[in-house]
Amino acid sequence: MKKTVEVTLSPEEAFDASLLKPALFEKLGIQDDGTVFLNLQKRSVDARGKNVQVKIQVELMPSNEVSEGITYRKRDHKVKNSNLVIVVGAGPAGLFASIRLIELGVKPIVLERGKDVQTRRRDIAAINKEHVVNPESNYCFGEGRGRYLFGW
């Protein structure tokens, strides 16, 4: 009988292949004796608090119910010769969209209008210390300005 559960792990455990399986069995309180098959369904990072956690959704099933045809193959995300998609902005949404496009086999081209990081740091310091905002360079660059991209 299949059962889906969620386990919370540290980032080190969740993203290190040698630590993941033992950590899952330990958190689930079961032995890795070959009688249970773990099928990872979903992995998500919860970085809201001081201690970052990774939530892993895993499906448990008896090994004798596992189809012989199930194999794990790491996906190859080479998109060098794939179709191109333009992503406007290298903020959180733009970077997430780019990662998702790569996972789907599409090559993203990210356009960022802001200044380089070193210059932007100086502009951010000016906001915090002198309350002077450079609308062309700050950590919220583009925030609320999407209407200009579309000519509204």
The domain segmentation of the chain, as residue ranges, is 3-64, 117-149
Is 3-64 assigned to CATH 3.30.70? Answer: yes
> Contact 61/1 with Cβ under 8 angstroms?
yes
| 105/124 Cα distance (integer angstroms) | 36
Query: What does the pLDDT average to over 18-30?
Result: 91
Predicted model pTM? 0.44
Instruction: Please give the pLDDT value at position 66.
Output: 65
